[in-house]
Each structure stands twice: as structure tokens, then as C-alpha cells.
A = this chain, B = another copy of it.
């Protein structure tokens, strides 16, 4: 696939955005791609760390970049409420406001309305919700959602969707995805910026036919990329994996596929097999703050007494700032003493772990040996995890 293909510009695609498919794995549907944006390019499969309120918690942008991270996610809902998208717009946009020079993806805010439980009323028009900060009343429509993201100036915008709980009745799921499709059309129509990409979000729960129906309707509209939404909301792992598999098969091959809110290293490795290109999740950053650290040999709970005197780095194969400079004993001390530096160093490590994992994934796909890579990784990771759990 060549870049020129993306030059055919339709109403719903960006002139500045392109997805290049560079290689396919030999024995799985894993693919190696490259996404081009006005703030630089990144290879896929990629993991996107979360920087909810215009900051990846605890890290300077310089530190985030040093982890190998090429794109971050910011939350439209949070930034709309505080400090306000208009303030950020007057600052020249989110990149300048937070001093992050590389690509930014903004979500639509729909998931926050769902997950923070601030929804007051859902109508055809949009969401009426209350701020989780001060209780003030707000309305988010597909049109305002796009306007906010255009003001923020992210490289990849997301359509407003309705995310429903799991389990949900089929009728409810059907109604919800119909609304999501109508909203996607309104998002596409509302869009003014040609420099920002816009991704459609498919809903449809864990129902193959509903997912397919939604994806076809979205593909008809011609977005820059497609996300799978409404997953990782409580469904069993097998259903998540199945849904990703049949959804990915239905998605356009020449556009990036983004699985929202997923996940653990195991989840990512599984979903890469099905041809997912982009992932985001709070796990590496949130777990870092809770002292749960990722290593090649599995998860490590730093407060554990066994690390009290441990002079080894978290992961002896890791080249992050934390592993190059500090022992487990020091990190345990910082965590137990509730020192801020614990969060900083743990987050550097966990984000580096994810960035390094994805680099390994891409190299394996490039070499056509993804399945071998995945098996070797999981062998070490899961055996090690058991060992850690046993203590």
C-alpha cells in the first residue's frame, strides 16, 4: 500500500493524515503500519499513554518522550470542563499548552459521561450531564464535541458515541448503535478542520451482526480510522477477544484500527493478532501510581517486603531512566514513604515497558515472526508473574 491512496480526499478524511500499511505478519493478521500526522509519524501497532488533563500524570513531556512514546491521549471531557477548550485554543492549542510536540489523540468525552456517572439525560440531540467537579450543567452534542476537539487541535479526533454497560439487552444495544451511527454522521458533517483526522467509533456490544452493521455504516461515511468502542467494560476476556476478532475482519483494511481502553500486555498481544493497530489504556500509568510495575518476568508489587533490600533494578533488561539509576529497595522506600518521586519513577518505567513491548511487537511483525515473539514474551512474563504472586 502506498501513501498516494490516502490522497483521494473525501469530506470525512484529513489531508494531513495518512496510514501506510508496511507489512503483514506471516501467520496471524497482525500488521505493521505507519501513521502520518501534522505532528509527526508513528509506527503501529502502537500504545498510547493517557494524559487525561493535558499531562501524563507526574511526567514532564521530555520524560514521556524519553520513554519511546510517540503519541499520547488527552480527554476532551476533562479539558472541556477545566481549564476549558477555549482557553487552550487561545494558547495555540493543546500541543503548545502542554508543550508536547508529537501527535495527540483526543477522545470524544462520551466514555467519561458513561464511566464517571455524570449523565443526566441522553437525547437524540446529545448528552446532558453534570460536571464531576462542581455539579454545573452541560450539554455535549456531536457538533459541540467536534468543535471542542478542533479547538484543542488534536491530531486525531474521535466521534461522539454512546457507550453502554455490559451486559445489556440486545434491543438496547441495537438502539444505542443506531444512535452512534446517526451521531457519527453529524460529527462528520460538523467537521471543519482538514488538518485533523477523525475516527469513527463502532459500538454493538459483543454481537457480531450488530458490530458489522455499525462498522459498515461508518465505513460508508469514510473516516480516517476506525475504533472499537464499548469494550473492556466488564465482558469476559474470551468475549472481548472474539468481538475484536470479528470486528477487525469487518473493518476497512486500509485504515488504522483502534481498540479503545485496552489493556494488559496479554490483551494487547492477543488483539494485535487480529489486526488491531492502536491501543490506549490507563493501566501502565495508574498501576505505576499504585506500585504495580511491569517487568519481562511479570508484574511486581513494589511494596512487597521481599524488595526491602533488593539492590537490583526493577527489570534488568530495561533501559529506562528508573532502571538505569535506581534499585528496587530505593523504589520501595519511596513508595512506602509516599514520596512523589515514587510515582514519577514508576510511571517512567511502566510507560517504557509498554513502549518497548510495542517495539518488539512491530519488529516481530516486520520479520513475520509475531507468533513466536508473542509466545516467548508470554512464557517469560507469565512464569515470572506466578513467581511474583507466590510471595
- A positions within 8 Å CB-CB of B: 53-55, 57-62, 82-83, 87, 90-91, 97-99, 308-309, 311, 321, 325-327, 329-330, 332-334, 336-337, 339-341, 343-345
Q: Provide the bound-state CA to CA distance between A308 and B62, in Å.
A: 24
- The distance from the CB of A83 to the nearest CB of chain B, in whole angstroms, is 4
Nearest CB of B to A261, in Å = 21
| CB pair A341 B83 closer than 8 Å | no
Rounded to whole Å, the gap between the CB of A324 and the closest CB of chain B is 9
Shortest Cβ gap from A167 to chain B (Å): 35
> From residue A66, how far is it (CB to closest CB) to chain B in Å?
11
- A87 contacts across to B, CB distance below 8 A: 308-309, 329
- Contact residue among B54, B308, B343, B345 (Cβ-Cβ distance under 8 Å from A330): B54
Q: Looking at the assembled complex, report how far the CB atom of A346 sits from the nearest CB atom of chain B, in whole angstroms.
A: 11
In the complex the two chains form, is B82's CB within 8 Å of A341's CB?
no
- Contact present for B340 and A91 (CB under 8 Å): no
Q: Which residue of B lies closest to A81 (CB)?
A: B337
| List of B residues within 8 angstroms of A98 by Cβ | 330
List 7 interface pairs A-B (beta carbons < 8 Å), by A numbering: A53-B339, A54-B333, A58-B340, A60-B321, A82-B337, A83-B332, A87-B308
**Cβ-closest 9 pairs across A and B:** A58-B340, A83-B333, A55-B341, A99-B325, A53-B337, A55-B339, A57-B340, A97-B330, A340-B343
A82: chain B residues at CB < 8 Å are 333, 336-337
Q: Is the CB–CB distance between B329 and A83 below 8 Å?
A: yes
Kindly state the separation between the CA atoms of A340 and B347 in the bound complex, as whole angstroms: 12
Decide if A91 touches B55 in the complex (CB within 8 Å).
Answer: no
Number of this chain's copies in the assembly equals 2
A341-B60 contact, Cβ under 8 Å, with A99-B326, A325-B99, A329-B91: yes
- Chain B residues contacting A336 (CB-CB under 8 Å) are 82-83
With A309-B90, A311-B91, A325-B99 as given contacts, are A57 and B339 in contact (CB-CB < 8 Å)?
yes
Cβ-defined contact, B90 with A60, below 8 A: no
A365 to B79, CA, bound (A): 49
Chain B residues closer than 8 Å to A333, beta-carbon distance: 53-54, 82-83, 97
Q: A132 to chain B: closest CB distance in Å?
A: 12
Max chain B C-beta neighbours (<10 A), residue from A62, A90, A309: A309
CB-based nearest B residue for A86: B309
Q: Are B341 and A340 in contact (CB under 8 A)?
A: no
| Chain B residues whose C-beta falls within 8 Å of the C-beta of A308 in the assembled complex | 83, 87
Do B340 and A340 touch (CB < 8 A)?
Answer: yes
Point out the residues of chain B lying under 8 angstroms from A58, CB to CB: 340-341, 344
Which chain B residues lie closer than 8 Å to A59 at the CB level?
A: 341
Q: Which of B60, B83, B327 contacts A345 (CB 8 A)?
A: B60
Q: Which chain B residue shows the least CB distance to A345? A: B60
Determine the distance from Cα of A57 to Cα of B329 in the docked complex, in whole angstroms.
18
Query: Bound complex: CA of A59 vs CA of B87, how far in Å?
Result: 29
Contact status of A341 and B57, CB under 8 A, knowing A83-B329, A330-B97, A336-B82: yes
Q: Which of A82, A83, A311 has the most CB of B within 10 A?
A: A83
**Residues from chain B with Cβ under 8 Å of A344 in the complex:** 58, 60, 340, 344
What's the Cα separation between A61 and B321 when bound, in Å?
11
- In whole angstroms, how far apart are the Cα atoms of A308 and B334 in the complex? 33
Q: List residues of chain B with CB within 8 A of the CB of A345.
A: 60
Chain B residue with Cβ nearest A54 = B333
A303: min CB distance to chain B, Å? 12
- In the complex, what residues of B have CB within 8 A of residue A53's CB? 333-334, 337, 339
Known: A55-B341, A60-B325, A344-B344. 10 other contacts (CB 8 A): A54-B330, A54-B334, A58-B340, A60-B341, A82-B336, A83-B332, A91-B329, A91-B330, A97-B327, A340-B340
